Amino acid sequence: MAGKILAANWKMNTIPADGVALVSEILNQWPDNHRAHTIICPPFTHLAFIAELLKNKPSFSLGAQNCHHEKKGAFTGGISVDMLKDLGVEYVIIGHSERRHIFHESEKDITSKVQRVIQAGMHVIFCCGELLKYRKQGLETSIVESQLKSSLGALSDTEMKQVTIAYEPVWAIGTGETASPQQAQNMHKTIRHWISKQWNNDIADKCSILYGGSVKPGNAKALFMQTDVNGGLIGGASLNAQDFKAIYHAMI
């Protein structure tokens, strides 16, 4: 059975001191009977500081928001998977819609990043999702399946076990719009079915599929009640400890 995961994607927000304060507040408020895994993905500048806070916290992991697709070299401003791993990072978000559409990352680059993270023994949070124009055309399934096939399709059974998938309808990210619980369930079910066909039922059943797209305390419970929604990739609401805690409780 897929594990429940709540991942916080802070994006380009907070300075390190504020990030440390936020994680400290979260840790102080979190229940002792952890029934889900929590991943904190701050900006690169925060990683070393937050890694210290998360030591000996088995229900928490440190994540990064991106990595470079090359192992090392003359890539000014790049961050390699080895650099991240050395800081204690266990998860890396790959293929986020903002990386795809704002930074124009290609499918080739995204696929290379997936491979780098897996080769380093780390876990991928692979993002997929459609633009509003494609949903209006009824093409959302073909778009998502194309993204999955392009970057994950060549993975082995063992490698796929290092992947968590986050479905993020692009039209619902930072817009205040949210996919309805049924829309989320339909796509999550489609993704799980695709995994089952590509690999097998066991891998599909154990793959955590998260929903990302304007999740808030007010809509979290209805989303997380859906059979194939195993948690969330949370953006803005993860910057508020009270909201993030409320979303966590809605999940468990």
Which of the residues are catalytic?
A: 96, 168
In this structure, are residues 20 and 241 in contact, taking their beta carbons and an 8 Å threshold?
A: no
Q: How far apart are CA 44 and CA 85, in angstroms?
A: 12
Q: Distance between the two ends of the chain, CA-based, in angstroms?
A: 15
Give 60-103 as a DSSP string. Answer: EEEEES---SSSSSS-TT---HHHHHHTT--EEEES-HHHHHTS
Of 234, 65, 167, which Cα lies nearest the Cα of 243? 234
Beta strands in the chain (DSSP E): 5-9, 37-41, 60-64, 91-94, 123-128, 163-167, 209-211, 231-234
Tokens 């809509």 locate to: 219
Amino acid at the residue 151: S
In this structure, are residues 205 and 160 in contact, taking their beta carbons and an 8 Å threshold?
A: no
Report which DSSP code applies to 31.
Answer: -
Q: Please count the other Cβ atoms lying within 10 Å of the Cβ belonging to residue 164.
A: 24
